[in-house]
């Protein structure tokens, strides 16, 4: 997966998440950030 694909996936995820969980948008952002960090760490560890 390229960086461009990752950013697109993250943007889509944030849009979908904000649509379904608008009242708790800060929670969603927090979750997305932690997920992205975990994903980046996993990717870094696998290369």
Query: Is the whole-model pTM more than 0.75?
Result: no
Report the alpha-carbon distance of residue 14 to residue 29 in Å, rounded: 7
* Average pLDDT of the residues in 15-40: 79
pLDDT for position 29: 82
Q: What angle do CA 28, 17, 1 make, to 5 degrees?
A: 95
Alpha-carbon dihedral sign for residues 6, 29, 35, 38: positive
29 or 4, greater pLDDT: 4
Torsion over CA of 5, 38, 43 and 7, rounded to 10 degrees?
10
pLDDT for position 21: 62
Report the alpha-carbon distance of residue 46 to residue 25 in Å, rounded: 31
């Amino acid at each position: 997966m390229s960086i461009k694909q990752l950013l697109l996936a993250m943007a889509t995820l944030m849009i979908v998440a904000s649509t379904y969980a608008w009242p708790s948008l800060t929670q969603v952002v927090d979750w997305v950030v932690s997920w992205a960090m975990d994903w980046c760490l996993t990717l870094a560890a696998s290369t």
